[in-house]
Homo-oligomer: A and B are copies of this chain.
Amino acid sequence: MPESGAELRVKRLRAALESGRLAPVQRLLSSLNPAEVASLLASLPTRERNLVWDMVDAADNGEVLLHLPEEVRDELIQQMDTAELVAAAEDMEIDDLADFLDSLPETVTRQVMRALSDADRARLETVMVHDPATAGGLMNTDTVTVRPDVALEVVMRYLRKRSELPLHTDALFVVDRYGVYLGTLSLERILTSDPEQLVQKVMDRELEALPVSLPAREVARRFQTSDLVSAPVVDDQHHRLVGRITVDDVVDVIRAEAERNLLSMAGLDDLEDLFAPVLRATRRRAVWLGLNLCTAFLAARVVGMFEATLEQIIALAILMPIVASMGGIAANQIVALMVRGIALGQVGSGNTGALLRKELAVALFNGLLWGATVAAVTWWWFDSPMLALVIGLALLLNLLLAATAGLLVPLGLRRLGADPALAGSMVVTTITDVMGFFLFLGLGTLILL
Interfacial residues, chain A to chain B (CB-CB below 8 A): 1, 3-14, 33, 35-36, 39, 42-45, 67, 156, 159-160, 162-165, 167-170, 187-188, 190-195, 218, 221, 223-227, 229, 247-248, 250-251, 254-255, 258-259, 261-263, 265-268, 272, 274-275, 278-279, 281-282, 285-286, 288-290, 292-293, 296-297, 299-300, 303-304, 307, 310-311, 314, 317-322, 324-326, 329-330, 332-333, 335-337, 339-341, 344-351, 354-355, 358, 361-362, 365-366, 369-370, 373-374, 377, 414-417, 433, 437
**Least CB distance, A9 to chain B, in whole angstroms:** 8
Q: Which 6 A-B pairs have the closest CB atoms?
A: A258-B258, A7-B348, A6-B345, A11-B350, A35-B225, A10-B350
**Least CB distance, A426 to chain B, in whole angstroms:** 9
Assuming the contacts A346-B42, A433-B321, asked whether A377 and B303 have C-beta atoms less than 8 A apart, the reply is: no
**Least CB distance, A192 to chain B, in whole angstroms:** 5
Question: A67 to chain B: which residues have CB within 8 Å?
Answer: 225
Number of copies: 2
Question: A167 to chain B: which residues have CB within 8 Å?
Answer: 227
Residue of B nearest to A345 (CB): B6
**Least CB distance, A328 to chain B, in whole angstroms:** 9
Assuming the contacts A191-B190, A225-B36, asked whether A292 and B348 have C-beta atoms less than 8 A apart, the reply is: no
> In the complex, which of the residues B1, B13, B221 contacts A6, with contact meaning CB atoms closer than 8 Å?
B221
Majority DSSP secondary structure for residues of A touching B: helix
The reply to whether B274 and A300 contact each other, CB–CB distance below 8 Å, is no
Assuming the contacts A193-B160, A266-B332, A290-B370, asked whether A437 and B321 have C-beta atoms less than 8 A apart, the reply is: yes
Bound-state Cα–Cα, A301 to B218, Å: 50
**Least CB distance, A32 to chain B, in whole angstroms:** 9
Question: A9 to chain B: which residues have CB within 8 Å?
Answer: 350
